[in-house]
């Protein structure tokens, strides 16, 4: 059975959606470890309640790579095959990426390459786009720049606020993150340049 490692910093609703799909047998893997760099992360508490292995590794005041080395050591300890960032508010060091080449996924609440970084829903509203959405992508050394695995489109409504828009995007996030994980786990993709395509 393939092993997932989840990294989060907060609420953890994407983690919970993944956990539900693992539980339901829709993702052919187990969650080996849930880690957070924030002690009070709700997602970490939920993982404990579910009986999953959890670790809190503080990031504050640490060099980026020093922190990443601690995280990678734990991922190795739990023999993680695929790392899923789920609201993990940190940029990964080149060291981390090298340790898990093409084995780190992230979910972003916009149609990349539009609106990378923080407050993507607010950025989309303020720009005035009529459609936004979410993106599952492989993580590279940039901020939300890695090859795109899957996306979902969400219309922007005239009376949307960043909060109402975020809720509808989140519903799609919860659906497509698991799809992206399955694709990567099944080894069903090849990567040509930036394009993630089905294996021939």
Alpha-carbon distances, residue 166 vs 19, 88, 120, 148 (angstroms):
21, 17, 9, 20
Interface with ligand GRF (CB under 6 A), residue from 3, 11, 103, 175: 11
Is the separation of the CB atoms in 191 and 102 below 8 Å?
yes
* Omega prior to 57 cis, within 30 of 0: no
Please list the residues that pair with 75 across neighbouring strands: none
Cβ pair 15, 6 in contact under 8 A: yes
Whichever of 93 and 135 has its CB closer to ligand GRF, that residue is 135
Local structure of residue 31 (DSSP, 8 states): E
Stretch binding ligand GRF (CB under 6 A), from 10-18, 49-57, 73-81, 190-198: 10-18
Rg of the chain over Cα atoms, rounded to whole angstroms, equals 16
Q: Is 99 in the site for ligand GRF (CB under 6 A)?
A: no
Cβ nearer to ligand GRF, comparing 3 with 116: 116
**CB nearest ligand GRF: which residue?**
87
Q: Among 4, 7, 13, 54, indicate the residue that binds ligand GRF (CB under 6 A).
A: 13
Q: Which of 2, 3, 10, 152 is the binder for ligand GRF (CB under 6 A)? A: 10
Chain residues binding ligand GRF by CB under 6 A are 8, 10-14, 43, 86-87, 107-109, 170, 173
């Amino acid at each position: 059975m393939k092993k997932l490692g989840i990294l989060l910093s907060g609420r953890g609703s994407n983690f919970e959606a993944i956990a539900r799909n693992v539980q339901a047998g829709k993702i052919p893997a187990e969650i080996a470890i849930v880690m957070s760099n924030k002690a009070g992360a709700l997602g970490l508490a939920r993982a404990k309640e579910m009986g999953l292995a959890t670790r809190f590794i503080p990031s504050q005041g640490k060099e980026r790579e020093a922190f990443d080395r601690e995280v990678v050591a734990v991922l190795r300890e739990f023999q993680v095959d695929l790392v899923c960032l789920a609201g993990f508010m940190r940029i990964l060091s080149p060291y981390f990426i090298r340790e898990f080449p093409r084995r780190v996924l992230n979910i972003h609440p916009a149609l990349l390459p539009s609106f990378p970084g923080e407050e993507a829903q607010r950025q989309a509203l303020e720009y005035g786009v009529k459609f936004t959405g979410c993106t599952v992508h492989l993580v590279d050394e940039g901020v939300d720049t890695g090859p795109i695995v899957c996306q979902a489109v969400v219309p922007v409504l005239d009376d949307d606020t960043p909060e109402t828009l975020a809720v509808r995007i989140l519903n799609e996030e919860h659906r497509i993150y698991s799809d992206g994980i399955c694709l990567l786990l099944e080894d069903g993709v090849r990567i040509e340049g930036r394009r993630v395509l089905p294996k021939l």
